[in-house]
Amino acid sequence: MFQRTATSGSVDLVAQQIDDVPYLKKLNFAGASVYNGVGLPRETLVIVDRMQGYWLATDTDAAGSALAAADNAPDVYIKLLWRRFGLAVCYEGELKKIYTGLFCVGLEEQRELWCRFSQPRSNGLAAAGTRVQLFGWIKWNSQIMEVLELAQLHPKT
């Protein structure tokens, strides 16, 4: 459980293999920066900001766990969050192009976003021109959004 107690700052959450899309959406809409990735260290790392991090000792109970300063917190932060993970995002746009395994959505900002579903789907996509809302991961090392959830929206009037 994460709780924000300060009036300023941000909360960064790193998730691995969380399939509860509504829960991830709630975290995202609450203002938390939610990251997903593979290759997490076995030890728990609490990242305070881009310059500070602490390793949580695993050999003690959770209530009284000791924190050890991570000497390389800036490097770990950049490697874990920016290079290896993707950030949870929600976009709205119009389906432009549909191919096998890939589709393109025109976003409000006049740019195109290429997408693919993270899990195979039995139902197909709506026709090109349909307005949709996407929720998923934008990977830092890829130009393709990994879509967890796609919802068809009513056309603009």
89 and 136 Cβ atoms separated by less than 8 Å: yes
pTM: 0.64
User: What digits encode the pLDDT tens for the residues 133-147?
Assistant: 999 988 777 788 999
Whether the per-residue pLDDT at 59 is higher than 70: the answer is no
Whether the per-residue pLDDT at 2 is higher than 80: the answer is no
User: What digits encode the pLDDT tens for the residues 89-133?
Assistant: 999 999 999 998 899 999 987 889 999 998 887 777 889 999 999
User: What digits encode the pLDDT tens for the residues 33-54?
Assistant: 777 765 556 666 777 776 777 7
Strand, helix or coil for residue 147: strand
Tell me the domains of the chain and their CATH numbers: 12-86 (no CATH), 89-152 (2.40.50.140)
Strand partners, 69: 54
Q: Which of 39, 50, 48 is nearest to 16 (CA)?
A: 39
115 and 147 Cβ atoms separated by less than 8 Å: yes
The pLDDT of residue 4: 38
